[in-house]
Structure 1
């Protein structure tokens, strides 16, 4: 703006000089005085007032040129503070989520362990149940019919026609049942015969006679049965023995039988 004012003043002086020359002119001294005068107008002495005005102009110019810098910096600083707070909150949230994930993993590990233990328990329970599945039933003859006996001494009967043998605790070759686990067992026997000779059998636990089934009459058929609950330890044996001088009869109708099963195990 000051440069434009200076140019305008110089042009005015130039026009004035030209006009004076056209009108009769000025002498050289007058022209010099005029130029000096104009120069003085253009470049007045630099007083304190002028310097103060120039400083004020520069401040105003700076304020006009950069009116929004401070406001923008303040806004930027506020934004940075806000973002730091958001980051701090996000960090806290992430930490909490990590802790939640850690707790969830711990819970899942516990559930997996419980499932594993439950599975093992189920396997053990199935195995235990299989061990408890003990039952058998058999008759004397696999085929045909006929008598067994009489003999002068007791003999162990072998019931060869096996109907059921869950757990394979009964041996049809020896006629002996062997207890696979400690428990309470139920046993039953039946003896069929014809008159004239007694039909008698006994249940033995190991070498001890426990119960018997006995029948005698001179003629017609003979039929007797009995049963007992025994407490057996692992390895105890149960068998059926024919009385001395007695006989029993069997046929396809399976009238003379030996049966047993586990009621419940014992500790």
Structure 2
């Protein structure tokens, strides 16, 4: 084999090696891009899972009671439980008596009423504009206290409103016997 043939063969070999190196570089660039996309997808999934875990750890709950007796004077009067003892995530507003859902989920709500001396009261819970369930409480004798409790389990979406209101005008007040014996409203996400 002469020098010209050897040189041609070496040039062909160099050209083949160069092509293989270019193909390898192109494959590595593609693999690197795919790898970076997979890493980004993993980071996105981790962020989403972390957010979900954080949401699950949020303790949404409230307990509010009356600081004074409240007279029911009209139909559909919202009962404002003005003393919020617990208000995790600040969903309950003690100024207007309305719980505004801060996170979608299943919730339990309970309310207790205390009345006194030959009177009655009808209260109902309103969820997203619809009265779901009510209680009737009736005292029959002089000097008679009476207490009733209602509860519901409901699915809520963010922004849904929940409150207690009168079904009719009364005639009795929600009574406050002491700072411990009073009417209350509470709720929590399960």
Q: Same fold (TM over 0.5)?
A: yes
Deviation of residue 203 (structure 1)? 0.6
Task: Tell me which moved more, 94-103 or 234-243.
Answer: 234-243
How many corresponding residue pairs? 180
Could you tell me which residue of structure 2 aligns to residue 177 of structure 1? 99
Deviation of residue 83 (structure 1)? 6.2
Could you tell me which residue of structure 1 aligns to residue 152 of structure 2? 228
Q: TM-score w.r.t. structure 2 length?
A: 0.65
User: Unpaired runs of 5+ in structure 2?
Assistant: none
Q: Does 1:115 align with 2:44?
A: no
Q: Does 1:241 align with 2:165?
A: yes
Could you tell me which residue of structure 1 aligns to residue 30 of structure 2? 106
User: Unpaired runs of 5+ in structure 1?
Assistant: 1-73
Partners in 2 of 1:189 and 1:203 — Cα distance? 9
The answer to whether the Cα contact below 8 Å between 2:64 and 2:94 also exists between their aligned partners in 1 is no
Q: Does 1:190 align with 2:111?
A: yes
By relative contact order (CA 8 Å, sep 6+), the higher-ranking structure is 2
Partners in 1 of 2:188 and 2:121 — Cα distance? 21
Deviation of residue 165 (structure 1)? 3.2
Partners in 2 of 1:148 and 1:242 — Cα distance? 15
Match of 1:153 among 71, 74, 77: 74
Structure-2 change in CA distance of 1:230 and 1:158 (3 Å):
same
The answer to whether the Cα contact below 8 Å between 1:149 and 1:247 also exists between their aligned partners in 2 is yes
RMSD: 4.0
Match of 2:127 among 191, 195, 205: 205
Q: Does 1:96 align with 2:20?
A: yes
Partners in 1 of 2:28 and 2:182 — Cα distance? 65
Could you tell me which residue of structure 2 aligns to residue 33 of structure 1? none
Structure-2 change in CA distance of 1:89 and 1:254 (3 Å):
farther
Rg larger in structure: 1
Q: TM-score w.r.t. structure 1 length?
A: 0.50
Higher strand share: 2
Task: Tell me which moved more, 89-98 or 229-238.
Answer: 229-238
Partners in 1 of 2:14 and 2:182 — Cα distance? 85
